[in-house]
Amino acid sequence: MIQRLLPFLTLAALFIGLALASPHFLTSTNLSSVIRQTAVINIMALGMTMIIICGGIDLSVGCILAMGGLLGSMAMGAGLPIAVGVVAGIFTGLACGFLNGLMTTALRINPFIVTLGTLGIYRGTALMISNGLPVHNLPPAFSFLGEGTLLGVPFVLWILLVCAVLVHVLLEHTKLGRYAFAIGSNAEAALYAGIPVAFFTTAVYTIGGALTGLAGMIEASRLMTGQPTAGQGYELQAIAAVVIGGGSLRGGEGSVVGTLVGAFIMGLLSNGSDLLGISPYLQQAIIGAVIILAVAVDELRKRKLG
Amino acid sequence: MLLELKGISKKFGGVAALRAGNLTVQGGEVHLVMGENGAGKSTLMKIAAGMYRPDGGEILWRGERIGFARPADAAAAGIAMVHQESLLAPHLSVAENIFLGAPPLRGGGLVDRQRMREEAGRLIASHNFPLQADWRVDRLSPAGKQLVEICRAIQRGSSLIIFDEPTSSLSESETREVFGIVRKLRERGTGVIYITHRLAELRELGDRVTILRDGETVHTGLLAETPANRIIQYMVGREVSAIYEREPVEPGAELLRVEGLSCSPGLKDASFSIRAGEIVGIGGLMGAGRTELCRALFGLDAPEAGRVWLGGREVKIRSPREAVAAGLALIPEDRQRTGLATALPVGHNITMAHLGEVSRMGLLKLEQEREICEGFIAKLRIKCESPKQRAGRLSGGNQQKVALAKWLLKQARVFLFDEPTRGIDVGAKVEVFETMDALARAGAGVLMVSSELPELTQVPDRILVMRQGRIAGELPGRSSQEEIMKLAALERKAEA
């Protein structure tokens, strides 16, 4: 039991430790900056949670984020309303995720390989469309998405909460979620039970893509530019958040709450290192060590369970 | 005497695979080892080849006590095994596989590839094998792969070679090829142990025969002095404890009709029908096409010929989903791999196949689901803490009940049970039979594939016996074990 709670305890300990160690930590400016920084990774990680539960992986999410942010920004830059731009970004992500799912299931290629390939394809496409140049002429009101405040908390926190509740309901209260767990836990048994495995696997990648498209719009709003080079390395952070939160790359395991905790642990580690003046080089090493430690502890717990 | 195995015993996780395995082999002898599926033949041979360590008994090699810690020890002593499923490195060449583990070296520990190729080539040529040293092994036929394993055994100068059911995956001409090699080995004074359960292969080949039953050696003798009937008797044994007595019901309308179903390579031209209320048994040896029949019916493999009718309507089943929609249920042989998601809760497994029954517009009705699961747990007497317990933590029998409950939520019309009692204890077996009986009484058709002769003779109303991919014949319920075994093991000409 104590081991199952370990991610939560770690997060709490980290929070209390930082509150004691730095007078700048418990300020609203700092906390909202942590939330804003973490939200993008967090929303991507929610999609990744579903994909990993389903026994898959998506290495292309960083590039999907760039595609979504870029195309959404271009739509707004061309004079379309902000809402249309945001929806365009989400749909771009959705289409990219759908392609990943389709290739994984129809061509029966390992998702690691498929998304390694689309990682290059999506990034290359984003660079080609934009000629490698960022989109700048965004409507000023668009900054509300990433930087605005609603009822005293950052607007992105509301978006994150809505997405988290949505994904939680999908996973725990719908057929789709149940099938995702079944496919990830034992794809063969799922097939034998008559579950349309290919359809639901594709659906999961598609939802993951849509969430990443949304994250791309938030990223674009925070920078007020549509960057074709945005999101590099984000895929690994998203995967790390899922894994720290108890998701298993073997599939069949993972939860929304775990992933949120995982993402915030990484966010706090990074924020804390900044506040305490720890070198950013060392930060990366610390986060890497935490990932390995988290998985090691989780494996230990599972082995005990048998 | 080359090898003597005395009173060998071996347990796997509490289940005794061998209790008293005895076997002696001389040089220049072909010794057949026979027995039903699960009699302990392969276990005994793997102990001789150093792949398992025995729990009890002793091994004498050329008259001296010996213990093999690993396969390399047995290989060094001169024992080689040609496996049923090839244990070769598929991406390497024939020569590399022949010398796997002991390649010829030159200075500095480097492999002498040229010498390896030449020696392999010479070895292949001296036996006239249809192989070439530089061919890749994964391109070879099953027979070709076995030839490579045989070459490896010869190259190492093995004085005893064990063949584990070598011909079960081979064509007739390939089988003759293997027989020719076995004879040649005998002429050179090599000892040969040959596991088989096909009687027709016997006469052509063997000198002596040892028969195992339930992990014990029950007979050893000269093959010429042991008629086929006696061998069958030894294999199936005499004692038939009454496991289950079923009151047959008057069969109703025809539920499932299959005509000319073929699915290469394992299934050829199968035709049969099942009526409501019937339990039809399917017997046969390993590799006879029983699982292939289930797979083809359930849409897991695409048959190349044949028609299927369910409830009088012709159906085309191309996927398990269509099979489920048509009213079929498959309880597969391998629960861990295909029957259950063992890491998921019992409840999730129970509702997996028919989630639509406990959801509305894609949303699950969790409260109703829990009640339904608790209902099945009580009805089938599944021993578990709660529907939330992981399915993998239950005993084999309880896992089987969960795999079955999956299909009861929305009752199927025809149930395909593939080895429903594998790995479960006697009490749970009876409960599985009771459930099958209840399903039949409620108007379903039941197909029951089984390797357990006693239960085949007692449970089904009719027994279809398969042999080499075909339905070799049909027997009435309560036919004797000998009758089933004869149909399953004897070639047509031997029957006459």
CA distance A105 to chain B (A): 15
Q: Is the pLDDT of residue B496 over 50?
A: no
User: Which of the pair, B356 or B238, is modelled with greater confidence?
Assistant: B356
CA distance A52 to chain B (A): 15
Point out which residues pair with B8 in neighbouring strands.
Answer: B21
Place of tokens 């259950």: B340
What element of type H or E holds A89? Answer: helix A82-106
Lowest mean pLDDT segment, chosen from B106-120, B162-176, B444-458: B162-176
Contacts of B240 (CB under 8 A, 6+ apart): B454, B457, B481
Residues in chain B: 496
CA distance B473 to B496: 14
Which of B319, B331, B349, B355 to probe by mutation at the A interface, max A CB count within 10 Å?
A: B355
Structural class in CATH, domain A2-299: mainly alpha
Token representation of residue B87: 């244990």
Is B254 within 8 Å of B312 (Cβ atoms)? yes
Please tell me which of A147-151, A199-203, B315-319, B373-377 the model is most confident about, judged by mean pLDDT.
A199-203
The DSSP annotation for B192-229 comes to: EEEE---HHHHHHH-SEEEEEETTEEEEEEEGGGS-HH
Measured between CA atoms, the residue of chain B closest to residue A186 is B341
* CA quadruple A259, A265, A270, A271: dihedral, nearest 10: 110
CA distance B123 to B162: 19
Map residue B354 onto helix, strand or coil: helix
Contact B324 A193 (CB under 8 A): yes
Token representation of residue A143: 């900054």
- End-to-end, the C-alpha distance of chain B in Å comes to 38
Measured between CA atoms, the residue of chain A closest to residue B352 is A193
Token representation of residue A110: 């390992």
Token representation of residue B309: 């009718």
CA distance A170 to A172: 6
Tell me what pLDDT residue B242 has: 55
pTM of the model: 0.77
Tell me what pLDDT residue B17 has: 82
Tell me what pLDDT residue A61 has: 96
CA distance A195 to A175: 10
Q: Is the pLDDT of residue B199 over 70?
A: no
Query: Shortest CB distance from B320 goes to which of A173, A182, A194?
Result: A194
Tell me what pLDDT residue B14 has: 64
Residue A281's Cβ-count burial label (10 Å; 0-12, 13-18, 19+) is exposed
Place of tokens 């020569």: B95
Chain B contacts to A (CB-CB under 8 A): 298, 300, 319-321, 323-325, 330, 332, 337-344, 348, 351-353, 355-356, 359, 362-364, 366, 390, 393, 406
DSSP class of B165: S
DSSP class of A23: T
Q: What is the pLDDT of residues A163-197, one digit of tens each?
A: 999 999 999 999 999 999 999 999 999 999 999 99
Work out the average pLDDT over B65-91. Answer: 84
* Amino acid of residue B266: G
Query: Shortest CB distance from A186 goes to which of B300, B341, B362?
Result: B341
Map residue B275 onto helix, strand or coil: strand
Place of tokens 């050329």: B62
Work out the average pLDDT over B269-286. Answer: 91
Q: Is the pLDDT of residue B495 over 50?
A: no
Residues of B in contact with A185 (CB under 8 A): 341-344
Residues of B in contact with A190 (CB under 8 A): 341, 352
Across A70-108, b (16+ Cβ under 10 Å) vs e yields: bbbbbbbeeeeebeebbbbbbbbbbbbbbbbbbbbbeee
Is B167 within 8 Å of B201 (Cβ atoms)? yes
Contact B390 A174 (CB under 8 A): no
The values of phi and psi at residue B83, to 5°, are -90, 155
For residue B168, name the pLDDT band (cuts at 50, 70, 90): low
CB pairs under 8 A between A and B: 78
CA distance B150 to B163: 9
Residues of B in contact with A176 (CB under 8 A): 362
Please tell me which of A57-71, B140-154, B433-447 the model is most confident about, judged by mean pLDDT.
A57-71
For residue B197, name the pLDDT band (cuts at 50, 70, 90): low
Query: Shortest CB distance from B364 goes to which of A178, A185, A186?
Result: A178
Q: Is the pLDDT of residue B476 over 60?
A: yes
Across B145-176, b (16+ Cβ under 10 Å) vs e yields: bbbbbbbbbbebebbbbbbbbbbbbbeeebbe
* Amino acid of residue B145: K
Which of B295, B318, B328, B338 to probe by mutation at the A interface, max A CB count within 10 Å?
A: B338
Token representation of residue A77: 């830059």
Q: Please report, for residues B386, B392, B492, the alpha-carbon distance to residue A186 in angstroms, rounded to integers and kept in the order given.
A: 21, 12, 42
Place of tokens 């993008």: A40
The DSSP annotation for A150-200 comes to: ETTEEHHHHHHHHHHHHHHHHHHHBHHHHHHHHHHH-HHHHHHTT--HHHH
Tell me what pLDDT residue A120 has: 95
CA distance B342 to chain A (A): 8
Nearest C-alpha neighbor of B441 from the set B250, B244, B311, B243: B250
Query: Shortest CB distance from B362 goes to which of A175, A194, A306?
Result: A175
Q: Is the pLDDT of residue B143 over 80?
A: no
Query: Shortest CB distance from A173 goes to which of B341, B342, B366?
Result: B366
Residues of A in contact with B338 (CB under 8 A): 186, 188-189, 192
Is B281 within 8 Å of B462 (Cβ atoms)? yes
Measured between CA atoms, the residue of chain B closest to residue A248 is B343
Contact B353 A181 (CB under 8 A): no
Token representation of residue B94: 């024939």
DSSP class of A225: S
Distance of CA A287 to the CA centre of its chain: 16
Tell me what pLDDT residue B488 has: 84
Contact B337 A189 (CB under 8 A): yes
Is B326 within 8 Å of B294 (Cβ atoms)? no
Nearest C-alpha neighbor of A122 from the set A57, A75, A64: A64
Residues of B in contact with A188 (CB under 8 A): 337-338
What element of type H or E holds B163? Answer: strand B160-164
CA distance A182 to chain B (A): 6
Query: Shortest CB distance from A176 goes to which of B321, B362, B406?
Result: B362
Query: Shortest CB distance from A185 goes to which of B332, B344, B351?
Result: B344
Can you give the pLDDT of all 306 residues of chain A as single tens digits?
A: 566 677 888 899 999 999 998 888 888 889 988 998 899 999 999 999 999 999 999 999 999 999 999 999 999 988 899 999 999 999 999 999 999 999 999 998 999 999 999 999 999 999 999 998 999 888 998 989 888 889 988 999 999 999 999 999 999 999 999 999 999 999 999 999 999 999 999 999 999 999 999 999 999 999 999 999 999 989 999 999 999 888 888 889 999 999 999 999 999 988 988 888 888 888 888 888 988 888 888 778 777 655
Work out the average pLDDT over B280-292. Answer: 87
Contacts of B23 (CB under 8 A, 6+ apart): B3, B4, B5, B31, B33, B44, B48, B193, B210, B217, B220
Place of tokens 């349309």: A196
- Parse chain A into domains and list their residue ranges: 2-299
Across B86-113, b (16+ Cβ under 10 Å) vs e yields: bebeeeebbbbbbbeeeeeeeeeeeeee
Token representation of residue B211: 């028969």
What element of type H or E holds A304? Answer: helix A280-305
Based on its alpha-carbon atoms, the radius of gyration of chain B, rounded to whole angstroms, reads 25
- End-to-end, the C-alpha distance of chain A in Å comes to 15
* CA quadruple A211, A214, A219, A220: dihedral, nearest 10: 150
**B3-12 and B15-25 as β-strands: parallel, antiparallel, unpaired?**
antiparallel
**B470-476 and B305-310 as β-strands: parallel, antiparallel, unpaired?**
unpaired
Q: Is the pLDDT of residue B76 over 90?
A: no
Point out which residues pair with B416 in neighbouring strands.
Answer: B330, B447
